[in-house]
A and B are shown apart, each in its own frame.
Chain A
Amino acid sequence: MHELGIVVEVVKQVEELAKHNNVDKVIELTIEVGEVSGVIKEYFEDAFKWFIKKSEYMKECKLVYVPIQGISYCEDCKNTYPTTKYGKECPKCHSPHTYLVSGQEVLIKDIKVQNKEN
């Protein structure tokens, strides 16, 4: 459900960029989404498809959704491991002193824009 809130924020930021760069339209948007960010790809894509209809520059924008693996770091044995498989506890030394290094982000990576030639 909160995918919509994130889509609104993403579209707002891209629209501002498009305006600032004086482009005619944005034809592609690449976002990187962490697998422990709480975002569900299908919901995000649906909300995106619906919401860009209301946009000025992104009506025909294609969405490229790149999932990013959740990786945790163990402060005790200095190893990294996949977060979704093992959770908070380090699978090597069983320490709980671990923290997430990637996988929580929702990042606007880049946009492809199009300008009519004058």
Chain B
Amino acid sequence: MEDIKTIIVNRSAYANNDLEADLLRDYLFDHRTFLINVMSSPGAGKTTTLIKLINALKDTFKIGVMEADIDSDVDAINVAKETGVKSIQLHTSGMCHLDAGMTKTGLDEIGANDLDLVFLENVGNLVCPAEFDTGATMDMVILSIPEGDDKPLKYPLIFQKCDLVLINKIDTKQYFDFDFDKCNEMIHYRNPNATVINISALTGENINLVKDYLVKRIREWR
């Protein structure tokens, strides 16, 4: 004889991760470590932007970088070489995003307790990273001119949940029909509180504006 019964669960699939993410944010606050989750499509310029930003900020804060990729460690090696700050590579083993658990493992490995600011370079993808809360203090999205101004319309969630949007590669704007006003309008339609800054990571244009924004934000938080 077998006995079958139903157990009512009614629990979100994200419940565990959301809880872990909130605990991680508390932990980061207790240790005064500001964690920025950096998201974009592949090739939007996450690594180049981070190198420029870290070099602008490294005299003010003690910084670390966690590079997440499905495989390889080229980003971690590059960032360490170009900035001199501590950098580690996280492999997601085929997964298209990082969750709060993986982020915590990375923070332990990099020794985040002694750092003021950690950048988490998420997997290059505009869909999956938006679904899983990493526990970061702040979310930043980089969109580059060649990708087109319609991305906030096509990938609403990632623009909806971020604090800062960097529009990168403005040095190439003469070659593309990127409409800045339209793009801004669409970002604010989804997310009225988002700050948008146009930059060129290659030439370093407006990196100082991003630096000022981050310094202010981190000082207010601390």
Contact = CB atoms under 8 A, between A and B. Distances in A.
Given A10-B13, A13-B15, A108-B10, 15 more contacts: A2-B97, A2-B132, A5-B97, A5-B131, A9-B13, A9-B99, A12-B16, A107-B13, A108-B9, A110-B6, A112-B5, A113-B4, A113-B5, A115-B3, A116-B3
Contact of B128 (A5, A10, A88, A110): A5
A106 B3 contact: no
Contacts of A10: 13
23 contacts: A1-B127, A1-B128, A2-B96, A2-B128, A2-B131, A2-B132, A4-B94, A4-B95, A5-B132, A9-B13, A9-B14, A10-B13, A14-B9, A88-B189, A106-B13, A107-B11, A108-B9, A109-B9, A110-B6, A110-B9, A111-B6, A111-B9, A115-B3
Contacts of B99: 5, 9
Interface residues of A, number: 30
Chain B's interface size range is 20 to 34
Contacts of B15: 13
A116 B9 CA distance: 22
B96 A108 contact: no
B1 A117 contact: yes
Interface string B1-28: 1111111111111111100000000000
B7 A114 contact: no
B7 A17 contact: yes
Nearest to A11: B13
B150 to A, nearest CB: 14
A4 B4 CA distance: 28
B194 interface: no
A13 B16 contact: yes
B210 interface: no
B198 to A, nearest CB: 24
**Which has the most chain A C-beta neighbours within 10 Å: B3, B4, B13?**
B13
